[in-house]
Amino acid sequence: MSEKEKMLQNMLYDANYDKELENERLECKALCQKYNSLCIQDLDARHTMIRQILGKTGENVHIEPDFWCDYGYLISVGENFYANHGLIILDAGTVTFGDNVFIAPSCGFHTSGHPIDYERRNKGLEYAYPIRVGNNVWFGAGVQVMPGVTIGDNVVIGGGSVVVKDIPSDSVAVGNPCGVIRKISEEDKQKKF
């Protein structure tokens, strides 16, 4: 079994020393670098290039530079996706975003992790677990989402949160570690914030 096959099956795999995976990452990072250097006003070129990088996109997708990812083809974004500056997606595991997802600056989605024991970690082994984000989700600035997390529909994740476990639909969640602080209510529709 190849290291890429192991990666895609959520097994421990050699991320550091496998040439196939290294080459794929370098190709993707070259595309990200080119994307980040495009004229900010050339929206057509930016939309064309982001579709080259990502595996699947809706029609209305907007990602502000700088944007970085590892492979790109393992990322799927739905319709009406917006990410502000500084988005990082480590997509060795799949990362799936639903429709109407808004991401504030300096957020990260990290599917990769490393063994706690240094012997395996020093051999370059890692694992990658998928991240799934539902529809109508808003991430505040500086949110970090860890491997294997699922976030439901209609969720707000407060700025600076570190999401290490699943967040159910219709929730406001915040903190490190991130946890649900309350359900979204009808009263929220009447507030200005």
Q: Which residues are catalytic?
A: 114
SS3 122: helix
Query: Is there a contact between 156 and 172 (Cβ–Cβ < 8 Å)?
Result: yes
Query: Is there a contact between 106 and 85 (Cβ–Cβ < 8 Å)?
Result: yes
| Number of C-beta neighbours around residue 148 at 10 A | 18
The CA-atom distances, in angstroms, between 82 and each of 21, 63, 138 are 28, 6, 10
| Number of C-beta neighbours around residue 118 at 10 A | 9
